[in-house]
Structure 1
């Protein structure tokens, strides 16, 4: 059985004998939030990283679990892709403990790309193995005392999404989409899945909503004439933020100073404010 004292659902659980879900062995986590989309390439990892930086800026202790085992990109976002996690043996039973890599702001990150020798090495595993590795990274990482753990989930409604929704005590999920109708249709599958699994959805972030004209400052919508509010209405979710295509953000990631850029950028404070209102911070 799990330890109720380390569960984000403590006080809201009907079980008298503890939960059967996954519980971190080396730490205590107050709030766990999943970030997901139905489709790849919409910016889940970017939204995860931005939200982590904004929460850390407020003084919260924050961790990020890169749940996209076959396509991990969180280390690249934070510019820690050249670092590796320390692995230590615990006891005589062959159990191991992972030490997360900390960013410049002190955000604790665990990703499969921090455990492999080469960043470009592909993961050629079947579903059960991938799910097992995800569980181990969540349970056997030395998280310490965290206010928030953000899980950057893989796209779609497959094994890992199902495992996290069923076995990890999520407080809520943030959905990421882009303006195209085809993307919205695929994203809605995840929304329906989460509702069937009784997972609380915090809201939707529409990424790549527009570009800003460098000469006149006008918002130019390049993928759809529909507004972010209309797309959110189709998904049946509150809109947390509409985020532009931002080359300065891309450049900050390439230069390794994304945390400094995001923490000083006012455009991402809307996401934080709406997230805080929905979560009840």
Structure 2
């Protein structure tokens, strides 16, 4: 069946999902492009429906997935990008809780009031790249399922626990031994350089709003302030860049601790007796 009407019920649902209208979108999230569809499938997410421009080859899908074909004009009317690839899908977004993010020795990113979806998506991508266990978002932070955020994450949002939190939730982290680092743009007497801070233990990196930085309530919760030293003549780094650099430093420190532990274990292990 080929749908050629822009007012078709299925087309309206797809358009609503792209617009972020959860009610009209049936609680589903829209994704566009073959790569994001493949990332969703790789993450174990089975699409509810796949929409294809008429004539486009059906990608490899699990059995039972509904495939709906649209004329090119109708497809373009429903999606967001100006040059669509001709494939979109409706998925049920994964549901994560705080416990999903508190595994092992937690390494968390706290997005405190980030409003640029590209920044949030990039942080989610960096979180996965550098082994963070989750991304926590405070009220006022853009949704990780915003279309720009989703594309910027390049599929990492399907796998990294992204969890909405309150001030009380962050206080609960401190009770559980998670140290909160507030990322600031410039150093003062109370600020550590990222290379001197200890990210090897359970910790969370708090990244503030692009323009205003971290609000007073978040700064009061912080156990320490940390900055990325910049020898160049810039006032501060972009929020996503700063967060990514801090995540890299945390990953580097943790890898060094792990390597040192393996070396000490090998040195102290009893030698095998030859028989």
Q: Same fold (TM over 0.5)?
A: no
Output the TM-score relative to the length of structure 2.
0.24
Higher relative contact order (CA 8 A, sep 6+): 1
Larger Rg: 2
Output the TM-score relative to the length of structure 1.
0.23
